[in-house]
Every structure is written in structure tokens, then in C-alpha cells.
Copies of this chain bind each other. A is one copy, B any other.
Amino acid sequence: MVTTNLDTPSTFNLDTYLKERCVQVEAALEASLPVVYPEQIYEAMRYSLMAGGKRLRPILCLATCELLGAETSTAMPTACALEMVHTMSLIHDDLPAMDNDDYRRGQLTNHKVYGEDVAVLAGDALLTYAFEYIATQTKGAAAERILEVVARLGKAVGAAGLVGGQIVDLASEGTIVDEKTLTFIHMHKTAALLEVSVTSGALLAGATPSTVDQLSRYAQRIGLAFQIVDDILDITSTPEELGKSVGKDVAAQKATYPSLWGLEESKRRAEQLIAEAIAELSDFDERARPLIEIAQFITARTH
């Protein structure tokens, strides 16, 4: 095992790192989807794809690829694809038949601008383009590795992943949800896509199966912690801090970790998960700094 120097001072600045990566990802997304005939569908896809956000999934993919010593350019098409898939899930989630939201990130939701029919199709087109983009644009990795990324992304998004989590979430509305069900929902709705963000970066960098598994455990833990913190912020934040309405979960009588465990225990468990996530990175040297600080950022964030 490599001796780590995680306790020594680092010149690494997470805020700068995230901003720089975000600019790179935005530029790659911008280039990924030119507007051609029929313009309306490309405009609808781009409206939501280019609507901002932390770009956490692409950044996790690039950071993992870099951690393992590979060029981030190898992972960039997959990083873009992860954001396309995430955007699809938001567009379809916001539909009247689902969460029926009029605003997201301070702008009108896709179906409020383009109509429900176009919003359904824009989601479908982003989802399918994600797979096409990985298959056609990835350079510098073996075809077998790229196929495994396609397979894992498919699993993470479909009935065994994100969609499965959404289905259990929908079925749980208005019922008393136990911890096992709540964890299933979040491991699938949130953690599955974060996990494949990390594992795809590892696969494209040529990681061994055991390293992929190790990084997968890191990602699962930050995914669950991310959701616990989201639940906590819904209770403890002001709308100004959060940039969106708060107290929605309580109002909707929605099961959350604080409702199961209380606030203090929820915070303790989120911190515990982050500690476990960081422990999975102990084999790596200073190059693991971005993934470590991203994990810490998840519990420290106030929005």
C-alpha cells in the first residue's frame, strides 16, 4: 500500500478546481450538440442541457480518470453523456404527470417552454444521444472498455437504477416508508448515476476490477450522504440559502432521513459515510485530493 500524505498541507483549492472543471465541461457540452434541422428538438435539448448546475457527475468522471493517470480527454465524451442522462431525468421528472414543476434552477421547465410533447421527446433524444456520443466520440480507450461503460450507464439509468428508484419513490407517496425502502430509493435515484460517473472514469483509465470496485464503494457512500444532506437542508435552510423552496418534504409528508433518525443522527450518519468514502481512497496519493475534497464538500455544503 502506498503511503499517503493526506495530512500534509495541500495547495489544492476545491473551489478553483470545481470552477475550472465546470468551464471545461460547459465547453464540451456546448460543442457536443450543434443545432441543425429540425432545430426545435436541438434547441429543447440544449435549453435544459446548458441550464447550468454544478456538473458534479461529469467532474467526478474526469477526476477519477485523472486520479488513475489517464488523459481527461478520454473521459470527456462519457462526462458529457452523464450530464445528458442527468438532464433527461430532470426533464421527465418535471413533467405534469410526474412532479409537475414549473421552474428549475430559476428558469421555466422544459415542458413549460416547449410543450409536454417536445419535452418527452427531448428527454428521449438526450438519453439516446448519451449512448451514441460515448460510442462515437471516445478516443484512447479499448472498445471493450467503452462497451462496459455503455453497459454500466444503461444499468445505472434503467429499471435496475434511476428509473427503479423513481418507481419506488412514486409508489411510496402517502405511505409510511421504512429505512430499507428509503435507502433503496436513494441508492437508485441518486447514488447509481454518481457511482457510474466514478466507475466509468475508472474503466476508461484502464483500472483493474478491484480498483473499480473500491471507487464504486466511494461513490455509493457519497451518493447516499448527498441525499441525507439534501434531506437535512430541506429542514434547516432558508429559501435564500437554498435558492429554492424549503420544507417541501415535511409538507408532502415525505419520508426523509431526519424523519426516520432525527436531525443530529442524520448528520452523524452523513459524516460517517463521508469518512468511509474517503477511507476507500487511502491507497492513492495526493492525486486523490479532488475526490476527497468533493466528498467533504457534500456534507459541508449549505445549498
Contacts and interface: CB of A to CB of B under 8 A. Distances in A.
Contacts of A247: none
Given A127-B127, A128-B158, A159-B42, A118 B151 contact: no
Given A121-B166, A167-B121, A143 B132 contact: no
A146 B148 CA distance: 11
Contact of A148 (B120, B128, B133, B135): B135
A124 interface: yes
Interface residues of A, number: 50
Interface of A: 38, 40-42, 45, 88, 92, 95-98, 115-118, 120-121, 123-125, 127-129, 131-136, 142-144, 146-148, 150-151, 153-155, 157-159, 163-164, 166-168, 170-171
A129 B127 CA distance: 11
Given A117-B97, A121-B166, A170-B117, A135 B158 contact: no
Shortest 9 CB-CB distances between A and B: which pairs? A132-B154, A97-B116, A143-B143, A135-B151, A128-B158, A135-B150, A125-B159, A131-B131, A125-B163
A116 B111 CA distance: 15
> Residue among A88, A144, A159 with the most chain B CB within 10 A?
A159
B118 A92 contact: no
Given A117-B170, A123-B124, A163 B132 contact: no
16 contacts: A41-B167, A92-B124, A95-B120, A97-B97, A123-B124, A124-B158, A124-B163, A125-B159, A125-B163, A127-B127, A128-B154, A128-B157, A129-B158, A131-B154, A134-B150, A143-B143
Contacts of A38: 159, 164, 167-168, 171
Nearest to A132: B154
